Amino acid sequence: DRAVFNGRRERIQNLDELPFPAYEKLRGFPRDYHMPIFTYVKRYGATMVGSRGCPYTCSFCDRTVFERLYRTNSPEYTYEHMKYLRDRFGVYHINFYDDLFTASKKRVYGLCELLISKPLGMQFNCAIRAGHTSPEMLRLLKRAGALMVSLGIESADPEMMERHKAGVTLEAVRQTVRDIHAAGLRAKGLFIFGMPGETPETFRRTSDFILELGLDDMNVTKFAPLHGAPIWEECLSGESGEFNEDWRLMNCLNFVFKPHGFASREEMDALYNWHIMRFYNGPTFRRRFVRRLWQHRWSLWHLLKHVPQTVAAMRYFHANREELERIKREFKRHPRQPVGLMPILSPEIEADNRAASAATRAAPVKMSWARKPQAAGATAAHG
């Protein structure tokens, strides 16, 4: 047995030639596909990808699939795609998962102008790059319906940023966050903990910087080397740390790589948990959380709806400590595999869930012309 490489297939240059994704094939879409609470105001939500590739060369990113070739859907196509999701499925919030939504200013301005001139009543989140957007563009995104923008910051240590070719400065990050807030948008910072060169001191510096920025939200990913990324060989060689190449753990929920600056993975976990508690228990986040309880009434309802299940789960695990420890052990060993059924739902809730699933499967599916867009320059985002 051996792997056979047949060569790279020819890339689709015009992404507008592709049809829209077959959302109707997703059972329960969009009702059963919930985005994280307080990241959207209008329901329901969906994800979209309107471009392929990224022009930058960060050391931790795998560029072997799209390389640095940047391709996008046209503004007209993206607009029609959003309109289709609204009209066909009642979706009113979009999370754009482009590597860099604002890489093409022409595309961003074109889409924003369409959303402003022909409003859809929708909101969206997207990713930008520090120093790559102007205050004018951010204000335009706000007018077009943007709610929150994310920016990859990765680390607040200048040497770490230079080593991993992040290509931004701390002052550029500070100014971009100020511009985001001035435009009336929310700012979410994205960070990576545990890359080669990381030490307790560099991460504490990053934690301090996160609090200094006054971010509305943040995400710290546990570093996992990606096969094909420039940093892969360095991690594999052992020159900068210990790498546990267990693909079952390569999910950014485990520290598979331990830089030489740390004594153990347990030390890394402790520092990671310290930062999470520091941010979410801080006064700035608490104030914003209380304010959003009213702004995000759908998220509040969704949160309250699951209180009974949460209480039931807490009672169950309190009475079954051994079962909880078993699940923890299994998750650490096989995080992608199920850990077994847990009797934490009442029979009434289980019956309601089964009835809702059956109703979803039985609902008739109406096909729309938009599965194969006919508007000039309008076609699909997957492929």
**Residue bearing the bigger pLDDT, 177 or 297:** 177
- 56 phi, psi to nearest 5 deg: -100, 170
Model confidence pLDDT, tens digit, residues 83-109: 999 999 999 999 999 999 999 999 999
Average pLDDT over residues 16-39: 86
Please report, for the domain that includes residue 36, its CATH number: 3.80.30.20
Q: How many structural domains does the chain have?
A: 1
pTM: 0.77
At 341, is the pLDDT very low, low, confident or very high (cuts 50, 70, 90)?
very low
In a domain, 366, yes or no: no
In a domain, 282, yes or no: yes
At 296, is the pLDDT very low, low, confident or very high (cuts 50, 70, 90)?
low
- 250 phi, psi to nearest 5 deg: -85, 65
**Residue bearing the bigger pLDDT, 42 or 199:** 199
Q: Give the domain range for residue 199.
A: 15-305
Average pLDDT over residues 341-357: 44
In a domain, 117, yes or no: yes
Look up residue 151 and give its two tokens: 């920016």
In a domain, 115, yes or no: yes
CA-closest candidate to residue 51, choices 87, 86, 12, 88:
12
Q: How far is CA 147 from CA 42, 91, 181, 226, 304, in A?
A: 10, 15, 11, 31, 23
